[in-house]
């Protein structure tokens, strides 16, 4: 069994006075769910924050002379303890929180997603299990792209399309995890496939959709970036920025292979400058991506009994099924 799934979840909403045994089992990194800052006296301010990790959640408070504006809702922090932990009115007294500005390859970001961000915990566990299998440099790149909380939240909540496959809240994550699982099932049978590149590319292939849509006057609509740039170029921009800013070390062969998988396109006109898929990783991702989208549309449009279902313009026909819905 994967180690991350064998850890019992700790509900640490209050610690007994003087109990530092639990502290040793707490995660090193938490995500800030909420933070409040109140005047305590003429010199100090009382800071109170609710912190989340899949293995533990707790409320902490600490005094400070000034406000650390780097500590924000959605940000990642570590705790500096104030001797033996003491619980006062449901909050654990600490020395301070330290904002984590630089991405850490060892932190599984899927373990830091509060339930008010995404309620489907099973989906997060599926994603996190495959992230755990990546090599450290690929984990580092993923975390460097999504270390900023707002972008990661949009990645989790974005639709995959406005009216096509996996539309609706978190549709793109459901599509992404489905594609990851499909490429793994295909790739393990191929001797010349780099599963790490294939899995990372599957995680990133539609990641740019986090910024491709925005909430319009009434419904979701394409953002300016979605209309002018698109998700393919957006994610390549993010990869380049992450490498430059955080010095992610990936050798050139793997880097080129990853960009090829994300940037190639089957049947694109030569004058566009896009390359045909030239690696098994690119071919497998393209097949899994298309199959995931088609499967979602057919399942949505299929009838309750064998026969023809509803027409969808992205299918170009009414899907025909011989198996009744369970």
In the chain the domains, ranked by start, together with CATH numbers, are: 12-99 (2.40.50), 109-301 (1.10.3210)
Q: Which residues pair with 164 in a beta bridge?
A: none
pLDDT reported for residue 20: 59
**pLDDT tens digits, 259-297:** 999 999 998 888 888 899 999 999 999 999 999 999 999
For CA atoms 87, 5, 32, 139, give the dihedral sign: positive
pLDDT at 28 over 60: yes
pTM over 0.75: yes
CA dihedral 208, 210, 212, 218 (to 10 degrees): 170
- pLDDT band of residue 85 (cuts 50, 70, 90) is confident
DSSP state of 48: E
- If one compares 267 and 142, the residue with the highest pLDDT of the two is 142
Average pLDDT of the segment spanning 299-325: 91
Record the tokens describing residue 181, joined without a space. Answer: 């699982």
Q: Which residues contact 238 (CB under 8 A, 6 or more apart)?
A: 145, 207, 208
Q: Evaluate if residue 50 carries a pLDDT over 90.
A: yes
Token pair of 44, please? Answer: 């100090």
Is the pLDDT at 18 greater than 60, yes or no?
no
- Checking if the pLDDT of 91 tops 70, the result is yes
- Residue 214 phi/psi, 5° resolution? -145, 160
Which pLDDT belongs to residue 21? 62
Range 216-230 average pLDDT? 87
């Amino acid at each position: 069994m994967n180690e991350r799934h064998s850890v019992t979840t700790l509900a640490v909403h209050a610690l007994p006075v003087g109990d530092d045994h639990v502290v040793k089992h707490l995660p090193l990194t938490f995500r800030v769910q909420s933070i409040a800052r109140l005047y305590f006296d003429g010199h100090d301010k009382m800071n109170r924050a609710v912190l989340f990790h899949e293995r533990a959640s707790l409320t902490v408070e600490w005094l400070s002379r000034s406000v650390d504006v780097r500590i924000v809702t959605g940000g990642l922090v570590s705790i500096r303890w104030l001797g033996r932990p003491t619980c006062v009115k449901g909050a654990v007294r600490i020395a301070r929180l330290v904002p984590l500005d630089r991405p850490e390859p060892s932190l599984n970001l899927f373990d830091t997603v509060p339930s008010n961000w995404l309620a489907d915990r099973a989906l997060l566990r599926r994603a996190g299990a495959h992230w755990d299998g990546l090599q450290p440099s690929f984990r580092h790149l993923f975390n460097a792209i999504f270390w900023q909380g707002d972008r990661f939240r949009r990645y989790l909540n974005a639709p995959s399309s406005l009216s096509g496959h996996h539309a609706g809240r978190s549709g793109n994550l459901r599509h992404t995890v489905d594609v990851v699982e499909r490429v793994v099932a295909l790739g393990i049978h191929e001797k010349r496939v780099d599963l790490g590149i294939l899995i990372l590319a599957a995680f990133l292939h539609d990641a740019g959709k986090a910024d491709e849509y925005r909430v319009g006057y009434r419904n979701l609509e394409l953002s300016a970036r979605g209309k002018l740039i698109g998700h393919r170029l957006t994610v390549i921009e993010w990869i380049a920025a992450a490498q430059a800013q955080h010095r992610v070390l990936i050798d050139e062969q793997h880097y080129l292979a990853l960009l090829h998988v994300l940037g190639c396109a089957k049947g694109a006109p030569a004058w566009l400058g896009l390359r045909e898929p030239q690696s098994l990783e690119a071919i497998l991702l393209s097949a899994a991506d298309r199959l995931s989208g088609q499967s979602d549309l057919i399942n949505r449009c299929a009838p309750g009994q064998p026969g023809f279902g509803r027409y969808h313009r992205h299918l170009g026909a009414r899907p025909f099924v011989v198996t009744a819905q369970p």
